[in-house]
Each structure stands twice: as structure tokens, then as C-alpha cells.
A and B are shown apart, each in its own frame.
Chain A
């Protein structure tokens, strides 16, 4: 039986009079690769910040693994098994690549030795083993994105929230990351990812929700979404005749 791992129930987020996210509902199933897409300012990252505990929601409920997580702090959300990456990468610059990933691993272990073992596994998975002793701040953007991925994987999450993990990468790098994402899913994790690049989204996603101006515009499989005239209009501008 397929279970809903994450349930977004009529969630709204206002900043003063500004409505960033308005009455959004959807569910993410276990082991799904779930795409959250939409043009700039659609509210994708705001929604991520609400789910991961960085913003309190204005109204509605977020239910993860049968627990309401609206009022939890980010670290508590992480301990429930949900980990996120950042659109603007946040490497811990003066620490080494290995130490960065170890900090993720410390959420599931208390000993330095075990944290190092877990971290080395994740570095191998994303192909950063050779860079383990380098300072995280010195990496290129592509490698920093891989580091973000390794760091959240080290928390052994049930669900990963990836915010534009392919943004700013070239084709080869994107393909590598997408392959890692598929691999992680096959090992049992659920993935929600925000992406700009439609090609990347349609290549890996099982299900897509499209946001526009804070509202849910459409949802469905990649094939349905790419043929939806509203979605095409939102992406290419109104009046465009597909």
C-alpha cells in the first residue's frame, strides 16, 4: 500500500499583507520523486521554508510521517527524518568537505569516528572523496551542490527537500546529480525537489505540482503537465499559443 509521507493541507504563508503561498494542498507518497515547479516568485522556496521549519505557516497544516510539524524548529524537523538543501548553497566555509558532511552525520551518531565513516560513504556516493580534505569554501559551485547533497544524505533522511540542486550546473553535472537522486530514491528515500529546469524535472519526476503566484496551478505526471496550456502560459507568458 502506498502511504502519504508528507501532506500539505491548505497551507498559506503571508508576509504582512503579502501573500507568498495561498491555500496550497498536496500529498507526497513514499519513495516518490516529487517536483515542485513554477516561475520566479511562485512561492516554491517559501513553501520549502515552511515545511522545513524555518517559517511558521500563517494557516493550514503540514503533516510529515503522521506528525503535525507546523510548530517544530528546523533541527526538530531534521531529526524526524526530513533534510533540506539550499538554493544558495551554504557550505560551512572554513571547515573541510569531510567535516561539513560529518556535521550532517552527527544527527544520527554521537561519536566522531562513526560520523567520519558515514561522511566518507556519502562523499563516495556523490564523488567528492578526492576533495575530502579541501576547505568547503574553495569548491566550485558544482562541487558545492554535490557537497550540499552529501551533507543532507549523511543525516539518513526519509525525505529530502532539494532546492534547485541543479541550478547553475552544466549538463554533465546535472546528469550526475539526477543519477544520484534516482539512486537515493531506489534506496528508499522520498525526494521533493524544486527545479527551474523543465528538462531535469520531466526526466526524473513521478509527479509534479506547479505553483504560480503562490497558488497551485496544476498537478499531474510530467506528460500531463508539459501539455497543460495553463502551465505553458505561466512559463512562457500569457497569450502564447501552444
Chain B
């Protein structure tokens, strides 16, 4: 009950945010990225955090949603919502094929297979004609219910809605039989099986829920950006970013992935736009032509992945349960 109120309050604040900060497309854009990563990471967390099955290929489900939606809208002029549902179906089919084969095995096989499947999907999209190959797919015009889809605002609320939905599902699972079963599977598969838990059924169930939500986010993202190619929606980097966000925030907790996204996405944005470097140069701390100045300007901007890596190593060494897990322990 406490958590439902917390979700409602935070969602309420997030809903009012665009009114407060005005319609600066840049800030709304960053906030959309935060919401999307929070939702992606929360969806991953259902499978990885609660059931303990680490998927390293969630980009496959994100990409399924994005590609299905884009193809159906651009080539067949489908309604965006119908295309989104089609994306869910495609993602679920890929998930079911992967899960029903790999979940019979224990250990790291699922992790390895998830990478393999994601790469198969990526390479297929890169080489087929109907997916636009290396050129990707561009969407020139899209309409839904007379909404102004040139504005970012509808997508902000769309992402927020999916995030709230994902958190709601996580919360429901946590207090229901399925959630208990997933956690039992994470803790000890033999014990779980001996207590009457059908391991592959429940692992597949978690995978399907997770894949479906991830696919919805992919559809939303595709229509928002209006251009997709394999490096944008099917890259291994995306899968890794989703996992790191969850790990740094706190795996297997309701708010961990959200916290991870709130911290990491703006951080990546700051590094990418080189806010720190520019400020140091502007205030005369570092000269623009000095070695350090050149490094800040030329290199640090590309270093957000490096910073992610360092933060992850520090987290694994000192905060193995993520930031949220750490604060729980202190309390």
C-alpha cells in the first residue's frame, strides 16, 4: 500500500514536471530518456532481478517493438497502437522460442543464449530488405488521435505511463504467488522445484512479461525519434546499459532501476554534452589549448561508457546490492 502511494506521488510529480520547466525540447528530451531507461531497466528487473535470469540481449525485444512498429506504419500505414500490439507479439514469439529452449538449462546458458539471439535479430535486421538494412527506416508522417506528434510532450507522458505500468506490474508480482516463485527460483532452483515450482514455466512467464514491456518501449521510442537503424535499437550496448542501470540502482528492488536511470542518464548526458569541460574552460580553470583542455574537449565527451564502466566496478566492489541495497543495509 505504501508503495502504491509512492508510485502515485512520484508519477504525479513527474506528470507536473513539463509544466514547471516549460517546453524546452532539450530538457524534455533528457527526461524522456530518463523515463525510458527507468522503464526498460524495471522491465529487465522482473526477469533479471526477481527471477535471477540475467538477459544480456534485451535490445532484441526493444528492437522487435521498434522495427515492427516502423515497418507497419511506414509501409502499410497501420495505426501506431495496432503496430505496437504487433510489436509485442513479435517480441513474445522471440522470447518464447529463446525461453523454451534455453530455460531447460541452468546456470549461465540463458545469459549466453540471450546475447546470441539478440545478435541474430540484429544481423537479420541489418541484412533483410524489408527492415531497411543498414539504412534503417525513416518515418515521415504519423498521426494518432489528432495529437501533436511533432512535440515531445505526448511521448513524455507515454513513457511515464509505461514506467508506471511496469512498476505497477512489478509491485503486483512481488506480492503475488508468481513473484514469490520467481524469487525462489533466483535463490535456489533445486529447492524451488522440490516445493512444486515448475521452473521453466515461471521463468518463461517472467521473460514474456519483461519482453512485452520492453517491446512497448521500443515502439514508443521508434515513433518518437521517427528513425531507427540497428545501432539505435538493436545494439548490444543498449542491452548492457539496461543491465548496468539496474545493477547500479539495485537489482531485485522496486525502485533500484528507477534510481539508476535518474542518476546515470543525466550523467551520460552531462558527459556527452561536455558540460564539465566547457565550464572548466569558461571559468579559466583550464586553458583550452593546454593538454588537459584538449583532453576534456576531445576525449571526455566520448567517455561516458568509460565512466559507466568505472561506476559499475565501484558498485560491484563496494555496493554489490546497488545504491538502494546499500541504503537499506545502512538503515
A residues touching B (Cβ–Cβ < 8 Å)? Answer: 52-54, 73-76, 78-79, 83-84, 86, 90-95, 99, 102-104, 106-107, 110-112, 115, 151-152, 155
A/B pair count, beta carbons within 8 Å = 82
Q: Could you say which of B56-64, B194-202, B298-306 contacts chain A?
A: B194-202
Whether A74 lies near B194 (C-beta < 8 A) is yes
Q: Which of B177, B183, B199 contacts A75 (CB 8 A)?
A: B199
Can you list, as one digit per residue, whether each of B196-225 has a CB less than 8 Å from chain A (1) or not (0)?
A: 111100000000000000000000000000
Once the chains bind, are A73 and B177 in contact (CB under 8 Å)? no
B54 contacts the other chain (Cβ, under 8 Å)? no
User: Is there an interface contact between B177 and A110, defined as CB atoms closer than 8 Å?
Assistant: yes
- B164-187 near A? 1/0 per residue, CB < 8 Å: 000000000001110011011001
In the complex, the answer to whether A103 meets B199 with C-beta atoms within 8 Å is no
Does B311 have its Cβ within 8 Å of any Cβ on chain A? no
Q: Does B129 have its Cβ within 8 Å of any Cβ on chain A?
A: no
Question: Is B194 within 8 A of A92, CB to CB?
Answer: no
A239 to B172, CA, bound (A): 65
Question: Which chain B residues border A95 with CB–CB below 8 Å?
Answer: 183-184, 187
List 3 A-B pairs, minimum CB-CB distance, nearest first: A107-B196, A78-B196, A92-B187
Cα-based distance from A155 to B197 in the complex (angstroms): 11
| Given known contacts A75-B199, A92-B187, A112-B176, A103 and B193 CB-to-CB distance under 8 angstroms | no
Instruction: Specify which chain A residues have a CB less than 8 angstroms from the CB of B183 in the assembled complex.
Output: 92, 94-95, 99
B interface residue count range (under 10 / 10 to 19 / 20 to 34 / 35 or more) = 20 to 34
- Besides A74-B190, A99-B180, 13 more A-B contacts (Cβ < 8 Å) are A53-B193, A54-B194, A75-B197, A91-B188, A92-B192, A93-B187, A94-B183, A95-B183, A95-B187, A103-B195, A107-B195, A111-B177, A112-B177
Which residue in chain B gives the minimum CB-CB distance to A111? B177
A95–B184 alpha-carbon span in the complex (Å): 8
Question: How far is A171 from B38 in the complex, measured between Cα atoms in Å?
Answer: 53
CB distance from A145 to the nearest CB of B (A): 14
Which residue of chain A lies nearest to B190 when distances are taken between CB atoms in the complex? A90
CA–CA, A155 and B196, complex, Å: 8
Is there a chain A Cβ closer than 8 Å to B191's Cβ?
yes
Residues from chain B with Cβ under 8 Å of A92 in the complex: 183-184, 187-188, 191-192
Task: Write out the residue numbers on chain B whose beta carbons fall within 8 Å of the beta carbon of A78.
Answer: 193-196
Using an 8 Å CB-CB cutoff, how does the interface string of B140-162 with A read, 1 for contact, 0 for none?
00000000000000000000000
User: B331 to nearest A CB, angstroms?
Assistant: 15
Most-contacted residue by chain A among B176, B190, B196, B252 (CB, 10 A): B196
Chain B residues within 8 Å of A106, by CB: 177, 180-181, 195-196
As a 0/1 sequence over residues 275 to 303 of chain B, the CB contacts with chain A under 8 angstroms (1 = contact) are 00000000000000000000000000000
Taking CB atoms, residues of chain A closer than 8 Å to B192 are: 92, 103
Question: Complex: how many Å from CA A152 to CA B195?
Answer: 7
- B112 CB to nearest chain A CB (Å): 24
> What are 17 residue pairs bridging A and B, where the CB atoms are less than 8 Å apart in the complex?
A73-B198, A75-B197, A79-B196, A83-B194, A86-B190, A92-B187, A92-B192, A93-B187, A99-B183, A103-B184, A106-B181, A106-B195, A111-B177, A112-B175, A115-B177, A115-B180, A151-B195
Closest to A104 in B: B195
